[in-house]
Amino acid sequence: MTERAGIYGGSLYDLAAEENLTESIKDQLLEVKAIFRENPEYLRLLSEPAIKKAERLDLIDKAFGGSCEKYLINFIKLLCERGLLGEFEGCCDTFVKRFNVDHNIAEAVVTSAVRLTDSQLASLKAKLEARSGKSVSLIQKLDPKVLAGIKVELEGVQLDGTVSGRLSGIGRKLDEAVL
């Protein structure tokens, strides 16, 4: 994330906080972020200098005008006008981090070889909340290299309960014993 994304995302958060719209704008930001990720050609179109600025701004209104807060629409337009739509994802990250701090939410990334069931995720979430004393937002990632078990990263701390992690630990101990 660039410094510019931090400034713009922080400014949007400050405005949303003043208007008591942080939760709705956060949810909408994440939806727009997903749309941009799924449709990179749309993001390129909005950044295309050969298309008149007024037309690009109109495309934003047509795409998001009925479903997003006016502040978010104007924010996207501002980034478009200044040629900064490439910073949108970083702005989202800054906004969400500020939201999480203000609402005592910790984000945990859970990596496993297979998708965890809803009950497994709920149990893991409860344990992480008890450990951290915060509300936990889980992000699940799949990685077949972990073989089995799970790896959790919570507030910069990694908890590795994977088979691959255990095998690596055994390998390190063997290396130390041989030396």
Q: Could you give the residue range(s) of every CATH 1.10.520.20 domain in the chain?
A: 3-100
Is 41 exposed, middle or buried, given 0-12, 13-18 or 19+ CB atoms closer than 10 A? exposed
pLDDT digits (tens, 9 = 90+) for 53-69: 899 999 999 988 888 99
| pLDDT at position 99 over 90 | yes
Q: β-strand 157-162 against 149-154: which pairing, if any?
A: antiparallel
Domain 3-100 falls in which CATH fold?
Peroxidase; domain 1 (1.10.520)
pLDDT digits (tens, 9 = 90+) for 6-39: 899 999 999 999 999 999 999 999 999 999 999 9
Look at residue 19 in the predicted model and tell me its pLDDT. Answer: 94
> What is the mean predicted confidence (pLDDT) over 143-148?
78
Q: Could you give the residue range(s) of every CATH 3.40.30 domain in the chain?
A: 104-178
Query: Which pLDDT band holds residue 174 (cuts at 50, 70, 90)?
Result: low
Q: Give the C-alpha separation, 152 to 156, whole Å.
A: 10
- Asked whether 135 and 104 are in contact (CB, 8 A), the reply is yes
Domain 104-178 falls in which CATH fold?
Glutaredoxin (3.40.30)
| pLDDT at position 135 over 60 | yes
**What single-letter DSSP state applies at residue 116?**
P
* φ, ψ of residue 93 in degrees (nearest 5): -60, -45
Q: Give the C-alpha separation, 35 to 39, whole Å.
A: 6
For 20, how many CA atoms within 13 A lie in the half-sphere containing its CB? 0
